[in-house]
Structure 1
Amino acid sequence: MKKIGSIILGFIIGAFVTYYFCPRTVSEVKEAKIIKPSGVISIAEADSLNNNWTKFRKVAVDSAAKKQGRNKDNRWAAWSLDDIENYISYAKNQSDSLGYDMTGIRIYLGVYGKNAGQTKKNLTTMFMVPTGKKSVSQASSLIFQSRRDNIPIDPLNEGQGGDSSYP
């Protein structure tokens, strides 16, 4: 009888250990909390910003494009979600290896030159550059650094571009 009690106790302990230490199925695992980033604007505000760009910049930008032999210049750039996620992973990895803490991404406007080929010649483009600060040890007297500089990593360009307005 003493052996049966030990076996039952062993099964109970084993069941508790299995319950607490074995991985749960996907439905049992809580999903990651989704946080709305600061700076998200409404569709109406985006439409207003786009209309203001059209009102105040389109004529000047398109007239400059006409001097270069184009009717319209690019108004936007787009990358696939895979390209953006892959670039962020790449940039974080490169930042770490260069001794930087990557804290953001900066978007720049650029213009392809006259030697860029007929499809891109003198058109506006946009490219992403990782930003952050040089990693400092905790023993450093320069712990407080709020300025974010570009990290010397190859930027992401080659997004799709177009001249249509929002939306």
Structure 2
Amino acid sequence: MKKLVLLILGFILGALAMYFYCCKEEPINITDPTPPKGLIKPAEIKTLTQAYDPRYQAINNAIFEGDEGGDNRSSWYALEDLENFLTLAKIQAGDLGYTMDGIRIYPGAHSAIDKTPGYSTFLIVPTGYRNSSEGSMMFFQKGGGGKDIDGGNGLNRGEDGDPPGANYPQ
């Protein structure tokens, strides 16, 4: 009887030890992400956007003369929209036979409505390189990343600046 009690006690202690050993939650190990190439401070953002002022004024004066508010200087995109776009673009790139390696941002303009010129906008287009079964040096190319993915959807419809002509910071 004494051996049976010790055997049951051993099973219970073993089960408890396994529970605490196997089911113990590991602490979340958060590491700082690697800063991307091109990360700039707010002071440099101000400098760069102010250096754009003469171009903005030339475009604005030539196209939006007499219109209140002027042209757009920025577009705002919701984080969720950007994340969803990137996910869908990667899937579409694979379906089209590409590996997505980045995005390219193009300036564009909406169509004029009546006599009012369309606001400027910024279009986000996926870039990448065509998948191939043979060895390729395309991945190691210099410059601005891959080519625009032929047939890939882009992202538009960002929110206008507030007001449209406002410079950084808004």
TM-score normalised over the length of structure 1: 0.78
Deviations 1:131-161, CA, capped at 9 Å, x for gaps = 1111233xx1325433501123210100011
CA distance in structure 1 between the partners assigned to 2:125 and 2:76 by the alignment: 15
2:52 counterpart letter in structure 1? W
Match of 1:85 in 2: 83
The answer on whether the counterparts of 2:124 and 2:154 sit within 8 Å (CA) in structure 1 is yes
The answer on whether the counterparts of 1:77 and 1:160 sit within 8 Å (CA) in structure 2 is yes
2:118 to 119, 122, 126: 122
Change (3 A) 1:142 1:23: farther
- Aligned pairs for 1:34-113 within 5 A: 34-54=33-53, 56-66=54-64, 70-71=67-68, 72-113=70-111
The answer on whether the counterparts of 2:106 and 2:123 sit within 8 Å (CA) in structure 1 is yes
RMSD: 2.8
List structure 1 runs of 4+ shifted beyond 6 angstroms.
none
The answer on whether the counterparts of 2:63 and 2:117 sit within 8 Å (CA) in structure 1 is no
The answer on whether the counterparts of 2:100 and 2:127 sit within 8 Å (CA) in structure 1 is yes
Work out which structure has the larger RCO, using CA pairs closer than 8 Å and 6 or more positions apart in sequence.
2
TM-score normalised over the length of structure 2: 0.76
Match of 2:127 in 1: 131
Deviations 1:55-99, CA, capped at 9 Å, x for gaps = x312211123236x6351110011011111111111112122222
Aligned partner of residue 145 in structure 1, secondary structure:
helix
Unmatched tracts of structure 2, length 5 or more: none
CA distance in structure 2 between the partners assigned to 1:20 and 1:90 by the alignment: 40
Match of 2:165 in 1: 163
The answer on whether the counterparts of 1:65 and 1:122 sit within 8 Å (CA) in structure 2 is no
Aligned partner of residue 52 in structure 2, secondary structure:
helix
CA distance in structure 2 between the partners assigned to 1:10 and 1:91 by the alignment: 54
Percent of aligned pairs with the same amino acid: 29
Match of 2:147 in 1: 149
CA distance in structure 2 between the partners assigned to 1:3 and 1:96 by the alignment: 63
